[in-house]
Structure formats: structure tokens, C-alpha cells
Amino acid sequence: MLVTGATDRYGYAAARALDDAGIDAVVLTRDTDSPAARALTAHGLDVVHGRRDQLDHVEDALADADGAFLSVGTGSARTTTERGETLVRAVERTGTPAVHASVFGADERPGVRCVDVRASVDADLAERGVPHVSLRPGIPLDAFERVRETVEAEGRLPFPLEGHARAAFTDPRDVGRATAAVFRGDIAGSERLPVVGGTHSLYDVATALEAVTGESVRADPRPPTDAPRSLTAFYRWVNEGALLAPSGALTERYGVETAALADYFERRDW
């Protein structure tokens, strides 16, 4: 299997999960000396140099692959769009089934760059007849790592989820485990699959953190403008109720249990 974006959140999780499942994976990355690439090499994965926006690089890496994990990653609209178009074209030309790291609610095309680009990839895969599964995570739980020091020092959990608004959250590792489960079978047609561990408010997250840390944690709902600038539009969309995703679909479809909030924080040694 070819894994693109393996030094990003979901690509890394996919590469590790495929390896853990005994599925041979080749990792394509433009920086084979990055910490994530070195970690994957240390785990015995085959890491090769290449760019997601270069068609010949992707096609060469797909030469012996039975499937591909597609991730456009982060960056400008132009960068991520070029990556998406290149990846779709490569799997179509080589006849390779794919798993795409999308986002829940992408089909709405809400005018949020990171969401709309993924929606375009999903639509392009379908229009070109590429057998694929679009995995649809919610807010990645590792987004809380940005405020970990505040939680530990002040017992306060600031996050751009206002009031008692609820949203779907996803342990990135579950995307990897879903990828391995999909590739253990056959991909046919087009499938949209939510990968969420539940829909929660910030107060739910604070309660889970208290249970894990044994310390008092106070939810501190913040406006979307408190998010990193590149994610402000995304969190506005989230606060409008965009990520009210149903949980349990991954378990029903592939038998993969998604992680609870506390499971993620315990694994990350909070």
C-alpha cells in the first residue's frame, strides 16, 4: 500500500496501522529526514522520497501498490488543491483503489478551504470511477495538544467551541485503524464512512480530562477567532453545528471500535 502525507496527522496514523496489521506499506514524503519520517523508518517502514503534487512521483510509487491512502495535508488552497488533483489523477491512471482522509460534512462545501478541498477530492474520485472509501473524521483530538500546558498549569481548557455547542471528535489513530480495516477487504464503488468516537461539548472533554489526570479541569469555551488563523473559518462552521456526526458506523461496518475521549488522553499520557 502507498501512504501519502505520512508525516501528517492521518497519514502517519495510517502508515503505523497498516504496519501493525501486517500490511506492507510504502511511505511517500518530500522530507525523508523529518522526525515523523525517521520514526516510520525506525518502525521498519519503507520511506521513499517524492512529492504529492508531482504526478510522476506518485505514479512511480504506485507501481507495485495494491491501494493508496490519500491525504492532501495542510497548506494554502493552491497547494492542497494541486496535491488533491495530482493524487486523484495518479490513482485513476494506475487503476489503484484508494482511501481518502476527508472530513465529516465535506459534501456541504461550506466555503471553508480545508473542507472544500477534501470535498473536491471525494467528488473527483467518484466522477472518475475510482473505487474508494472516504473516511470522515471530526475534530482531531490532538488539537487539544495546543493547550496542554494551559491545562496542566492553570486547570483551564480553552478551546474554540462556544457555550455548550457539541461536535464530533476523532482520535487520529482511529483513522489509521479504519484504513487498515478497509484495505484488509476489497474496495468497490464509492463509500462515505464517519470515523468519530462520539459527539461532545467542551464540558464533556474537561470531565474526561479530570478523570484521567485526577486534577480539576475547567472548560473555557472560546470564540472561533481564538483558533489559529488558518482554522478560524473551520471552527465557525463547527460552532454552527456542522460536526454533529453519528458514532458507531465504523464499528458496524468494519468491526473497529473507536476510542473514547479518556482513551485518547490516557494514551497520550496527560
Cβ–Cβ < 8 Å for 100, 124: no
DSSP per-residue string spanning 136-186 = EE-EEGGGGGGGHHHHHHHSEEEES--TT-EEEEE-HHHHHHHHHHHHTS-
What residue segments make up the domains of the chain, in order of their start? 2-267
Residue-wise pLDDT tens for the chain (270 aa)?
999 998 889 999 999 999 999 999 999 999 999 999 999 999 899 999 999 999 999 999 999 999 999 999 998 889 999 999 999 999 999 999 999 999 999 999 999 999 999 999 999 999 999 999 999 999 999 999 999 999 999 999 999 999 999 999 999 999 999 999 999 988 989 999 999 988 999 999 999 999 999 999 999 999 999 999 999 999 999 999 999 988 888 999 999 999 999 999 999 999
DSSP 241: I
CATH number, domain 2-267? 3.40.50.720
